[in-house]
Structure 1
Amino acid sequence: MSLEKLGKLYRTVVLEHAENPHHKQTMADATVSGALQNLSCGDEIRVFMKISAAHVQAVSFMGTGCTISQASASMMTDTLCQCSVAEAQHCCQSFFALTMGQTVTQSAQQQLGDAELLASLAEFPARIKCATLAWHAALTALKGGQTNE
């Protein structure tokens, strides 16, 4: 795929997720949540998860922020829903590695889905925090975060 086509795909997917975010809602029956904010730009995210039998049954988010933070949060909900807790933690770590310009396995890239497109942010260090904010909040929730029981 040419760089021009890849750039257009990236813009299209990111804008679609930012303008029509998936799973952007509170979750009354969440069992854990994690909240973070990026003090350097003002992005705020709270991730809600319903975890049962070490499996992510549902995931959603609420928050405000730039296009990249909102798109990344939307992509994160698509990626982590229906994963085991261990798989979800691995996905978060793979996403962090990609955004830092590190290599991850082909299967990890595939599991990340649309979020894999954000690997190009490694070239823009100032935007990495925007992209990873929701994923860090999700990892906080996956590790017990704030219990909502």
Structure 2
Amino acid sequence: MELKQLYREIVNDHNLTPSHRGKMENPDIVLQGVNPSCGDNIYLYLKVKDGMIEDGTFTGVGCAISQASVDMMLDNIIGKSEDKALEIAENFMKMIKGESLNENEVDDLEECALLSDISHMPARVKCAVLGWRTLEEMLK
């Protein structure tokens, strides 16, 4: 299967049937993320205990890229430490800006690395990073 086709299928799957969509009961941290340039708007909910992200969900509206990206992000960070989640977020931001990553950094991004081509679509970068920016604000 061609990489672009795989990318489309994964983004569509995360957008149409997200694993982490829904309002969380009794989250430890909640933060709204907004992209005013296109109207994407999410709420990110996290359960964090002893520095570990135990669970995460999101609600909101937006384009397929913003919704898929936040769902993929949650797949990646649940079960990881806050510090590791911030490291992964930093690497995602570098990738989206078109900066080079080493093999370990790409591996840490897991499925999120499939969004690397968005760096060539400036209008979509803000969509892809909405959940990640919100996560960084929550954990810093």
| Count, aligned residues | 140
Gap regions ≥5 residues in structure 1: 144-149
Aligned to 2:109, what secondary structure does the other structure show? helix
| Deviation digits for residues 43-83 of structure 1 (CA, Å, limit 9, x no counterpart) | 00111111110111111111100000000011011011011
1:59 to 53, 56, 59: 56
Q: Which has the higher contact order (CA 8 A, sep 6+)?
A: 1
Q: Which runs of 4+ in 1 moved over 6 A?
A: none
Q: Which amino acid aligns with 2:4?
A: G
Alignment-derived partner of residue 115 in structure 1: 112
Q: Is the 8 A contact 1:33 1:138 kept in 2?
A: no
Distance in 2 of aligned mates of 1:37 and 1:141 = 14
Aligned to 2:11, what secondary structure does the other structure show? helix
Distance in 2 of aligned mates of 1:142 and 1:82 = 15
Alignment-derived partner of residue 128 in structure 2: 131
Distance in 1 of aligned mates of 2:119 and 2:2 = 19
Q: TM-score, normalised by structure 2?
A: 0.96
Alignment-derived partner of residue 99 in structure 2: 102
1:23 equivalenced with 2:37 (yes/no): no
Q: CA deviation at 1:29?
A: 2.0
Please say which of residues 81-90 and 28-37 is displaced more in the overlay: 28-37
Q: CA deviation at 1:105?
A: 2.3
